[in-house]
Amino acid sequence: MPHIDNDVKLDFKDVLLRPKRSTLKSRSEVDLTRSFSFRNSKQTYTGVPIIAANMDTVGTFEMAKVLCKFSLFTAVHKHYSLDQWQEFAGQNPDCLEHLAASSGTGSSDFEQLEQILEAIPQAGNVVTGEMV
């Protein structure tokens, strides 16, 4: 028979925080790194599942440089040109696994995304409206 827990829980919107005991002695022992296996592509991703949004003031290459040091993900905004992508990829190859290329809904946006992914296949994580 399933256990039904009727205790009061701490929550904020869709995030449920439920305190529990830990064997860790210090906060420095916490490891947020997780591995994900993707069913259709058979690829895996290992990192911290926190993503900087693809807003033009947040999802920047500068943000990606800092966040990738901590294995955090950045959804890069759609306003960077192909040349800017190529320059960033050439200077920061270790950051590419922690990036997602974003696209708008127009056909020119999609064409630009195709060019970016063709030139830099390592930036293969894509955030599009169709995925939502």
Sign of CA dihedral 57, 102, 65, 26: positive
| Residue from 102, 44, 106 nearest 76 by CA | 102
Angle formed by the axes of helices 82-91 and 107-119, nearest 10°: 30
CA triplet 130, 60, 39: central angle to 5 degrees?
A: 40
3-25 per-position pLDDT tens digit:
888 887 766 666 767 788 899 99
Work out whether strand 10-12 and strand 15-17 pair parallel, antiparallel, or are unpaired.
antiparallel
**CA dist 82 → 106, 118, 132 (Å):** 17, 10, 25
DSSP state at residue 104? -
pTM of model > 0.75: no
**For the purposes of burial, counting CB atoms within 10 Å of the CB of 109, is it exposed (0-12), middle (13-18) or buried (19 or more)?**
middle
88-126 per-position pLDDT tens digit:
999 999 999 999 999 999 999 999 999 999 998 876 555
Distance CA 4, CA 44 (A): 35
